[in-house]
Amino acid sequence: MIRQMKQALRYALTISEDPPKIKKHVEEYMAATGFDRRYKFKWRALAGNAKYTSSGIFEYAGQRYYFSKDSGELELEKI
């Protein structure tokens, strides 16, 4: 699941770094790859500014994840 979540997050961040759009694109990606549409992406904490997201904590399907994007490298871990 972590591999698919990282791919979904990478996909969403290439389209837009705006938090509401990231949420929408991650949910669309996960649904398109066969995950249950009932699960929703929920922001828990976010670091960045109005245009760019640099790190954050979110919840998906009952699991919490932390991601950071440093110099173009995306890191994702389950917490």
Is the pTM higher than 0.85? Answer: no
Tokens matching residue 42: 């929920």
How far apart CA 72 and CA 45 sit, in angstroms, is 20
Per-residue pLDDT reduced to its tens digit, 19-65: 888 888 988 998 899 888 788 888 888 887 656 777 889 888 888 99
Q: What is the H or E stretch that residue 21 is in?
A: helix 19-32
DSSP letter assigned to residue 16: -
Reported as type and span, the H/E element at residue 12 is: helix 2-15
